[in-house]
Structure 1
């Protein structure tokens, strides 16, 4: 075997070994062999998901449960443990989440590697994802993230596959539609068309065959401000000055309910609107230039980051999405998301501290709880600013940028980029 072959065979071994060691410890926490500090986060699987499973397997969606706020494709994740009938529901779910985690790593190792592409993305996922603790395997978000990573690595070389996977991901948990934020040009139109067709076909089939399939469209209409969100910091501080509201389990999450909460929630929605308005301006600014593989990943990461940070709800599992998308960005040397991705990685251990370790302090608006939220949300907000700045600068006109793309690269990839990525499909 020549030197290049030895480097290739040895390259993935280290992240795979590190992944195996870290995930073994994580699995011991999830299965209860080791005790993790704070409330047990796995009850969502053993109680809530298990109850949904019983309803779904009888041919209906749990429309009477206010916690059910997901598109119809989510049923696939909830029903998936039936594939391992020899295990209990919670154990089977953890094993499937572990396999999805491994799928992300393999995609980054082999789909995200090629000429000039080091293993930074694979290492980022290996080290960053377990910083979220048992939450990684106690929600189905890691499964959605695997679909999103596969979609982005398909990218502009396979626009229809990219769009179909983004559409399928959206039927699991909506947010993967944001992966298409940077898709433009001929390849972008193909991707958008494939995504629209996938969503339309899936939603229609679900609506025609299963009652309540589209109930998620109005399920979150009356949600308030969740205690971990950016806007919640205002209410946390207000409690120390006599705010008279309450903290309640509301629509499946712990939210503030009381005076002025509607105003805070409205401000969060307005901020999300501003973020999407900025994305629209960026898209108009960048539409004349081909995005390239790095640009496509950067736009997707930025869009999801803006959506997550400005949301009325920032659940810990949302960081799983961001770590996965940040890992894809780090696969491309031309990415401008290095600093934002590492800021997200820094937010992960703070997130596990605020939930579940010190969640009691967060709910009580204690100084420790507020401090943890200030640090975590501050890191996410800083990541938003740096990601938006990098994406905007990448769209700045450069000498010769107005020239039409070469005919040999109709999908938006330059000939050099095409030759460097042809053999590295997902």
Structure 2
């Protein structure tokens, strides 16, 4: 070989995947983001049309309940959800004249519009640039799959993410979005203390939250009465141990060994629950875990309020930690609940541009972890769900239970990591403020 000949080119680290990422990074732009959104969403709809059409049942359940609304009245319609949800679910019904298939199409289009709006918000907040946070959101929804558009849980996810994006520039928007989220799904009300920790924004965010959240609560009281106002809380408290929840995992693993000792069946609460030995014990453990989770959340809030000026990243981590703790400690954990984590995570990745290189790396690792959780959740439901229900023979009961257990363990690990980082970064924010 000649001494003047060029040295052979070595493949870069990561091989083809590294080159693909490099190619994509070099071509980021508004049009490529729009194209990527269209292609990934067409892929989700393709999976729905070809392989997962059976997951549309909840949408037809909404349709059936809205159709009966005039006959039974608001006080007997969708009692498991806050009253404003009934108004929300009426929109696709009214737009399609009550047509059953039309309702399904309109519902999916509505959820796609929310998804697109959040993607645009990520693009605009980043200075009209196609950045990694938008790519994360594209991939996250793709991995969760068609379920993203066949439940309305993408709404609180987008509201929480949008509230975090607006927190420092338009705090009143943050308060309004959080209040709207609380009116639709209750749990976003837990996020407002985190946003109020930043003192300069406290008044605007607080009053907007009160105006929207309590305003919708007052309208709900006038429209449906007290029993309808509190029915989502009583519905939730009366539910049993859902088979996908973290606290059902020990019992489900035991069932995989001896299926005859436990019964898995759909309850009157529209969820598959497990019945049999030690279920009552684990329901008690779940209740204690929920209380412990609230203590952790309150401790994070107090730590945030102690800081003279907590950073946007620290507040964002408290928001993400609140959602994660609430999800893993509950006795119910439907697959679509994972969507709640995606919005705040995407917003955090965008806020990370103002953080240190180490903070950006840590958040990217969390985001990668969450993408893996999205894929595992898609495996749990709908791909392995028949196995989990015992409809595909005992071998699939074992496989599906193990996949669910791995997902739940990973979700607990993710939650612990987020809480640990939030606690540590709040301390860093405190020291930085004092030093300044």
CA distance 1:165–1:57, shift in 2 (3 Å) = farther
1:349 matched to which residue of 2?
375
CA distance 1:17–1:273, shift in 2 (3 Å) = same
How many residues are paired up? 390
Which of the two has higher C-alpha Rg? 2
Alpha carbons 1:363, 1:369 under 8 Å: kept: no
2:133 matched to which residue of 1?
121
The one of 149, 156, 170 equivalent to 2:161 is 149
CA distance in 1, matches of 2:90, 2:72: 11
CA distance in 2, matches of 1:182, 1:146: 17
Pairing 1:362–2:402 present = no
Alpha carbons 2:85, 2:184 under 8 Å: kept: yes
Pairing 1:54–2:67 present = yes
Q: Deviations over 1:355-395 (max 9, x none)?
A: 11111222238220121112211221111111111111102
Alpha carbons 2:74, 2:224 under 8 Å: kept: yes
Alpha carbons 2:162, 2:343 under 8 Å: kept: no
Q: Deviations over 1:90-126 (max 9, x none)?
A: 1111111111111111111112x149x8711110001
Alpha-carbon offset, residue 400 of structure 1? 5.3
Alpha-carbon offset, residue 10 of structure 1? 5.7
2:142 matched to which residue of 1?
130
Alpha carbons 2:318, 2:422 under 8 Å: kept: yes
2:188 matched to which residue of 1?
176
Alpha-carbon offset, residue 177 of structure 1? 1.9
Alpha carbons 1:337, 1:390 under 8 Å: kept: no
1:232 matched to which residue of 2?
248
CA distance in 1, matches of 2:87, 2:349: 30
Pairing 1:80–2:97 present = no
1:247 partner SS = strand
Alpha carbons 1:268, 1:310 under 8 Å: kept: yes
In structure 1, stretches of 5+ residues that fail to align are 1-6, 406-426
Greater mean deviation of Cα atoms: 56-65 or 272-281: 56-65
CA distance in 1, matches of 2:308, 2:258: 52
1:248 partner SS = strand
CA distance in 1, matches of 2:315, 2:189: 13
In structure 2, stretches of 5+ residues that fail to align are 1-24
* Structure with larger RCO (C-alpha < 8 A, sep 6+): 1
Alpha carbons 2:154, 2:339 under 8 Å: kept: yes
CA distance in 2, matches of 1:118, 1:106: 10
CA distance in 1, matches of 2:326, 2:260: 28
Greater mean deviation of Cα atoms: 305-314 or 202-211: 202-211
The one of 324, 336, 341 equivalent to 2:343 is 324
Alpha carbons 1:339, 1:383 under 8 Å: kept: no
1:403 partner SS = helix
The one of 93, 104, 116 equivalent to 1:102 is 116
The structure richer in helix per residue is 2
CA distance in 1, matches of 2:154, 2:433: 40
CA distance in 2, matches of 1:122, 1:292: 22
The one of 308, 312, 322 equivalent to 1:303 is 322
1:291 matched to which residue of 2?
310
2:76 partner SS = coil
2:265 matched to which residue of 1?
248
CA distance in 2, matches of 1:8, 1:188: 40
Alpha carbons 1:179, 1:301 under 8 Å: kept: no
**TM-score computed with the length of structure 1 as normaliser:** 0.84
CA distance in 2, matches of 1:399, 1:269: 33
Alpha carbons 2:28, 2:130 under 8 Å: kept: no
Alpha carbons 1:77, 1:140 under 8 Å: kept: no
CA distance in 2, matches of 1:370, 1:358: 9
Pairing 1:206–2:217 present = no
CA distance 1:10–1:261, shift in 2 (3 Å) = closer
CA distance in 2, matches of 1:391, 1:376: 22
1:387 matched to which residue of 2?
418
After TM superposition, where is structure 1 displaced by more than 4 Å over at least 4 residues in a row?
7-10, 397-400
CA distance 1:138–1:64, shift in 2 (3 Å) = closer
CA distance 1:58–1:16, shift in 2 (3 Å) = farther
Alpha-carbon offset, residue 141 of structure 1? 1.2
1:290 partner SS = coil
**TM-score computed with the length of structure 2 as normaliser:** 0.82
1:419 matched to which residue of 2?
none
CA distance in 1, matches of 2:27, 2:71: 48
